[in-house]
């Protein structure tokens, strides 16, 4: 019995020892990034280096503590460049360089979206990231109205660009940037409204089907988001 | 009782071996009950152990991350030392805190604590009976602990290094066991921080200038005194 206890204690100590610190002692890194918009360099944009580590779920071996926090921060100069001097991430699950926000506060500059560059590893202590292009934000409002009084069932789906974008360390957009909203509209609910945020210069896709017992009508409507506020009314 | 006896022994020994700083007359015979002497400038200051408690105002030098990115608060220092004749050997701990004011330069910590542990070697110059100048050199470790917000808890990260310093301190003796002190210390810091080449010097090398004021407590020596027969008066004749 005593032997088992000793083994348990040893495993605990080993787990603690192997967990490593989320932030390294005696080390700093620099991350360089240029921030642009459609017209060129953008000054005064906040850039943060945030790390995240999932904690241990085991209550027997609580060797890994969770951590989430900003370890470096900076603001772009007039050329759109920022050199973020940061503490160095240690044993973490992910490192993200977040342009125009951090994990808690998205869109510090409310004119622009937020871009996460997710780094799988840091190959040097002086990292140059691909330039990040910010897009201007847009608000859209979609109203669905049953003005004909039909008892047909409306099913529709909205696809639009997520204002929070994720790019990899090569600057390529991750696949999860699109947002999809699906809704089935019935006669009890003749009016429906959706308000959300997307990016200017993108397209909102509205796909719908009208059915009673069989398909009555279906279509795909593409709505360009070219101004800051867009309203679209779908009547049936 | 001990103090009186020790005081008498010092007077006798000091006179015998020529340690006294001034040429003032010292009675070779004194009564144990001569308590008035305790509040006079001490004549046994040439050796003994002491404590110091100092209040510090550290100021970091230019082009050093602790200067450019922090507001350094005041700190405290505790010294324990021993002196033999005029030479002092001391161990010292100094702690100061700083708030991060420019995280874009130093990393996004909330605050940091600057800890110094050093040994020092000094020499005491007695200018008058009560007034002394005490220069010393110091070498020791430097540990800077940074605190991070992590949800509801906080994490700490550390930077390590060493420093060498020179200190000049003046002491004014109020009582035989108590002095007030004022000093300045200049440190050269070397930190083991690995940083990008461009910022290596910024994070690794710097200076610190620290004015201080404090209190200096001398610990009474507890000598073993041979029992003196007779009238309670010690003198050269007693062979002390």
B20 is written with which tokens?
Answer: 């006294």
CA B69 vs. chain centroid, Å, equals 29
**For B157-191, what is the HEC assignment?**
EEEEEEEEEEEEEEEEEEECCEEEEEEEEEEEEEE
The ipTM assigned to this model is 0.76
Q: How many residues does chain B have?
A: 240
pLDDT for the residue numbered A178: 79
How many A×B Cβ pairs under 8 Å? Answer: 80
With beta carbons under 8 A apart, name residues in chain B contacting A75. Answer: 104
Q: Which of A20, A21, A22, A25 to mutate to test the interface with B (most CBs of B within 10 A)?
A: A25
Per-residue pLDDT tens for B49-74? Answer: 999 999 999 999 999 999 999 999 99
C-alpha torsion sign, points B6, B7, B8, B12: positive
With CA atoms as reference, report the closest residue to A221 among A137, A142, A138. A142
The rounded distance, in Å, linking the Cα atoms of A194 and A176 is 21
The alpha carbon of residue B156 is apart from the nearest alpha carbon of chain A, in Å, by 9
CA distance A94 to B45: 62
Query: Which residue ranges of chain B lie beneath pLDDT 50?
Result: 1-3, 5, 7-40, 228, 230-240
Backbone angles phi and psi of B186, in degrees to 5 = -115, 120
Of B220, B176, B174, B177, the closest CA to residue B2 belongs to B220
Instruction: Give the C-alpha separation, B122 to B141, whole Å.
Output: 18
Using CB atoms, which residue from A22, A30, A68 is nearest to B199? A30
Answer yes or no: are the C-beta atoms of A71 and A96 closer than 8 Å.
no
Residues of chain A contacting residue B158, judged by C-beta atoms under 8 Å apart: 25-26
Question: Which residues does A236 contact at the CB level (< 8 Å), separation at least 6?
Answer: A144, A145, A146, A147, A148, A150, A152, A154, A210, A217
Summarize chain B as % helix, strand, coil (round to 5): 15, 55, 30
| Chain B interface includes A75 (CB < 8 A) | yes
User: At a CB cut-off of 8 Å and minimum separation 6, what does B71 contact?
Assistant: B98, B99, B101
Buried b (16+ CB within 10 A) or exposed e, B43-69: bbbbbbebebebebebebbeebbbbeb
Whole-prediction pTM:
0.76
pLDDT in tens, B208-225: 999 999 999 998 665 555
Quote the pLDDT of residue A186.
74
Who among A22, A49, A69 is closest to B149 (CB)?
A: A69
**Which residue, among B149, B136, B64, B133, has the nearest Cα to B102 in the 3D structure?**
B64
pLDDT at residue A8, as a whole number: 56
Q: Name the residue in chain B with its Cα closest to that of A74.
A: B104
Residues B196-210: tens digit of each pLDDT:
999 999 999 999 999
* End-to-end CA gap in chain B: 17
pLDDT in tens, A3-31: 666 555 555 444 444 457 889 999 999 99
What are the tokens at B208? Answer: 């610190």
Q: How far is B97 from chain A (nearest CA, A)?
A: 18
Per-residue pLDDT of chain A (236 residues; tens, 9 = 90+): 566 665 555 554 444 444 578 899 999 999 999 999 999 999 999 999 998 887 765 555 556 667 788 999 999 999 999 999 999 998 888 899 999 988 777 777 889 999 999 887 777 899 999 999 999 999 999 988 888 888 888 888 999 988 888 888 787 777 667 788 888 877 667 788 889 989 999 999 999 988 888 888 899 999 999 999 999 998 88
**Cβ pair A87:B109 closer than 8 A:** yes
Q: Find, among B115, B113, B106, the residue nearest to B142 by Cα.
A: B115
**Tokens standing for A222?**
């593409």
What confidence score (pLDDT) does residue B23 get?
Answer: 39
Asked if A31 contacts A81 with a C-beta cutoff of 8 angstroms, the reply is no
DSSP B41: P
Question: Strand A153-161 to strand A46-53: parallel, antiparallel, or no bridges (unpaired)?
Answer: unpaired
Predicted pLDDT at A174? 75
- Which one of A21, A23, A52 would you mutate to disrupt binding with B, by most B Cβ within 10 Å of its Cβ? A23
Is A26 at the interface with chain B, CB within 8 A? yes
Whether chain A has a CB inside 8 Å of the CB on B193: the answer is: yes
Q: What is the residue whose two structure tokens read 């070697």? A: B121
pLDDT of the residue at B32: 44
The per-residue pLDDT for A119 is: 87
CB B136 within 8 A of CB B48: no
Kindly give, in sequence order, each residue whose CB lies less than 8 Å from that of residue B161, ignoring residues fewer than 6 positions away: B141, B142, B143, B144, B189, B190, B191, B192, B193, B204
Residue B15 neighbours by CB distance under 10 Å: 16
Closest CA to B74 of B236, B189, B211: B211
Q: Is B62 on the interface with A (CB under 8 A)?
A: no
Pairing of strands A114-119, A191-199: unpaired
Radius of gyration (C-alpha) of chain B in whole angstroms: 23
């Amino acid at each position: 019995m005593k032997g088992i206890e000793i083994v348990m204690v040893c495993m605990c100590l080993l787990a603690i020892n192997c967990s490593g610190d989320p932030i390294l002692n005696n080390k700093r890194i620099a991350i360089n990034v240029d921030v642009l918009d459609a017209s060129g360099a953008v000054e005064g944009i906040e850039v943060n280096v945030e790390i995240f580590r999932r904690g241990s779920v085991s209550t027997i071996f609580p060797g890994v503590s969770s951590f989430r926090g900003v370890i470096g921060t900076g603001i772009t100069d007039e050329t759109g460049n920022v050199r973020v001097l940061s503490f160095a991430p240690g044993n973490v699950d992910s490192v993200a360089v977040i342009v125009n926000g951090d994990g808690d506060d998205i869109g510090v500059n409310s004119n622009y979206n937020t871009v996460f560059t997710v780094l799988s590893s840091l190959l040097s202590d002086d990292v140059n990231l691909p330039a990040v292009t910010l897009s201007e934000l847009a608000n859209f409002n979609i109203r669905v109205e049953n003005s004909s009084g039909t008892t047909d069932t409306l099913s529709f789906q909205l696809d639009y660009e997520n204002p929070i974008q994720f790019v990899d360390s090569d600057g390529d957009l991750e696949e999860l940037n699109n947002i999809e909203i699906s809704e089935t509209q019935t006669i009890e609910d003749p009016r429906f409204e959706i308000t959300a945020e997307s990016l200017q210069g993108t397209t909102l896709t509205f796909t719908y089907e009208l059915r009673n017992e069989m398909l009555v009508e279906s279509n795909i409507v593409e709505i360009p988001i070219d101004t800051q506020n867009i309203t679209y009314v779908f009547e049936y | 009782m001990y103090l009186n006896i020790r005081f008498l022994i010092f007077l006798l020994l000091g006179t015998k071996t020529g340690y006294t700083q001034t040429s003032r007359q010292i009675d070779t015979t004194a009564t144990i009950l001569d308590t008035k002497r305790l509040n006079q400038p001490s004549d046994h200051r040439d050796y003994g152990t002491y404590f110091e408690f100092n209040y510090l105002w550290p100021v970091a030098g230019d082009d050093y991350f602790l200067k450019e990115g922090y507001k350094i608060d005041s700190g405290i220092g505790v010294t324990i030392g021993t002196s033999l004749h005029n030479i002092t050997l001391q161990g010292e701990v100094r702690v100061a805190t700083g708030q991060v004011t420019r995280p874009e330069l130093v990393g996004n910590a909330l605050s940091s604590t600057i800890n110094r542990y050093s040994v020092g070697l000094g020499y005491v110059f007695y200018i008058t009976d009560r007034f002394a100048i005490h220069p010393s050199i110091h070498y020791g470790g430097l540990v800077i602990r940074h605190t991070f917000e992590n949800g509801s808890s906080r994490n700490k990260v550390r930077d390590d290094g060493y420093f060498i310093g020179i200190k000049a301190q003046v002491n004014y003796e109020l009582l035989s066991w108590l002095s007030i002190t004022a000093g300045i210390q200049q440190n050269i810091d070397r930190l083991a921080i690995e940083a990008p080449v461009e910022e290596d010097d910024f994070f690794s090398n710097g200076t610190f200038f620290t004015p201080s004021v404090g209190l200096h407590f001398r610990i009474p020596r507890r000598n073993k005194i041979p029992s003196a027969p007779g009238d309670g008066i010690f003198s050269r004749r007693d062979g002390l």
